[in-house]
Structure 1
Amino acid sequence: MPPTERGGTRSYPVELATLIGQSLARLVREPSHSRRAEAGRRWARHTLLISAVLAVAVVILMVAIDSFEIGLMPARGTASLWPLKILTDFGKSAYVLWTLVALLVIVALLLPLTKGVQRVVMIGIGTRLQYVFLSVLVAVSATEVLKGMIGRGRPFVGDSANPFNFSTFAWGEPYASLPSGHATTAFALAIAVVALFPRLRGLMLAYAVIICLTRLVLLAHHASDVVAGAMVGTIGAMAVRYWFAARRLAFTIRPDGTIEPLPGPSWDRLKKVAQGRAAP
């Protein structure tokens, strides 16, 4: 979310509309980072590697593990599983996305009320929230399309745990098992947060894995479904990270193409940004 132009006093609604417009314009502007080509090649290599490894894992799980794994799970409707039914909702895409939308709205509403250094800080927070939101949204959108196209039956749809129960282009909930939407959401959120705050790697990985395990125990998905969801979530967050880095938003690109989060600015730099003498 960019700072507003100086000069003149504008009403709150005008200021809010201007800031939102500038924020959206920054997201779709032409890439400007001089190292975006190196970052793009590095991103493509990593995407191909992750896709190949996890695609092989999905096939192996589907052929050799899915049926066996389902047999190890407790019966659906087991009373003692109620805590997992609550826990699994922390990976529900609607809840995660609406929470992020609410945070973005709060930042947007507060931004016109700030000036100087405070505005610069709010812009930074808003930009990072945009990155996390779009990472989850892009990954979840891709998953919804894949679910409908692949049409894999959920466990025990058709009265069996048959891992090869497919009805392509079914576009219905019973045949929306692959990839797992919860796993996609959890991994997209985890990868996005870790991209911004690497020190949270352990915590976010634990969150994503726990969400995936709840989907297995609750018999909502096969093991291969959650691995496929993790793949889509990871690739989605990485793609959005490259988009932001190429536009110098929230990330920077090193000479070797590595994308890193922008370091927190010093107090002197914050003042320079607020005064228009440095880029936010």
Structure 2
Amino acid sequence: MAGRNSVGRPGYMVELPRAIGWSLKRLVREPSHSRRAAAARRAARQALLLAALLSLVAVALMFAVDAVVISAMLPRGTPSLWPIRILTEFGKSRYVLWILAGLAVAVWLLLPRLHGASRAVLIGVGTRVQYLLLAVLVPVLAGEVFKGVIGRGRPFVGGAADPFNFTLFAWNEAYASLPSGHSITAAALAFAVSALWPRLTGVMIVYALTILATRLVLLAHHPSDVVAGALLGIVGAMAVRYWFAARRLAFTIRPDGGIDPLDGPSWDRLKRVARDAVAP
């Protein structure tokens, strides 16, 4: 029969769109977790508290610190800053999102070739990759809107260290300082990875702080810009985590409304998935 292999299963080109469609439908299905209301209340409280705290910090930095810090930095284009220019690329949203999207596509391409336990393991991997991708993508897109609407000038745009250089609705790269896009990406990725694998929290905090610092050293942003970016990245990743937990994807909800990661695929199972994927 056309579209089926020799053992009667649908062929690869039939299974592939089915696998992609099923994977996407899971993300938009009705939430089913019985504790989702408690999780929503808890997540809202945490997000509001974090937003209030970091917003106060950002405003204080804008009035008392921004001009002083950027005035103390080396001029743009200083040759000795080349290592910093390399480091900052690890927080560029374009690169992070393309890598995560590539991993998601790789999972889709492999999924129709696997069955049984190996397929289940790969689905678990794919679900986590989808979470990482959306946890970064959602706040990054929101950040692009905020940048254009707020229109804050980057350090020394206009010639002076003026932290109050705003042109609303500028939609111009020179006036896209608030919030910092690299900071959004780094903070969102750090939160998302830590949410899935808590043991990596320390490493991801160092990663995020490093990216935030590079934006200051390179005079790409004011201190308040990176704090605002980190806030948006964390809150966005938190919202996506709740979305997944409410649908029983990658996370579970405790009786008190806290959200924990589900047990992930073991390393031995991942190796078996790789072997099965390349087996004739």
Shift of 1:264: 3.5
In structure 2, the partner of 1:148 is 148
Q: Which amino acid is the alignment partner of residue 235 of structure 1? A: V
Structure 1: segments with no counterpart, 5+ residues: 1-6, 267-280
Q: Does 1:229 align with 2:229?
A: yes
In structure 1, the partner of 2:129 is 129
Matches within 5 A, 1:228-267: 228-264=228-264
In structure 2, the partner of 1:99 is 99
In structure 1, the partner of 2:28 is 28
Separation of aligned partners in 2, 1:152 and 1:265:
44
Matches within 5 A, 1:48-59: 48-59=48-59
Shift of 1:81: 0.3
Q: Which amino acid is the alignment partner of residue 184 of structure 1? A: I
Matches within 5 A, 1:139-218: 139-218=139-218
In structure 2, the partner of 1:74 is 74
* Cα deviation code 1:230-279 (max 9, x no counterpart): 0000000000000000000000000000000002478xxxxxxxxxxxxx
3-state SS of 1:134 partner: helix
Deviates more, 1:183-192 or 1:109-118: 109-118
**How many residues of Structure 1 are paired with residues of Structure 2 in the alignment?**
261
Q: Which amino acid is the alignment partner of residue 261 of structure 1? A: P
Q: TM-score, normalised by structure 1?
A: 0.91
Shift of 1:13: 1.3
Q: TM-score, normalised by structure 2?
A: 0.91
3-state SS of 1:260 partner: strand
Separation of aligned partners in 2, 1:264 and 1:240:
18
Separation of aligned partners in 2, 1:242 and 1:209:
24
Separation of aligned partners in 2, 1:81 and 1:14:
52
In structure 1, the partner of 2:63 is 63
3-state SS of 1:168 partner: coil
3-state SS of 2:154 partner: coil
In structure 2, the partner of 1:88 is 88
3-state SS of 2:65 partner: helix
3-state SS of 2:177 partner: coil
CA contact (8 A) 2:125 2:265 kept: no
Shift of 1:75: 1.2
In structure 1, the partner of 2:37 is 37
- Structure 1 runs (4+) greater than 4 angstroms displaced: none
Separation of aligned partners in 2, 1:128 and 1:22:
15
CA contact (8 A) 2:194 2:204 kept: yes
Q: Pairwise CA RMSD of aligned residues?
A: 1.3
Separation of aligned partners in 1, 2:192 and 2:73:
31
Separation of aligned partners in 2, 1:74 and 1:124:
46
Separation of aligned partners in 1, 2:203 and 2:30:
35
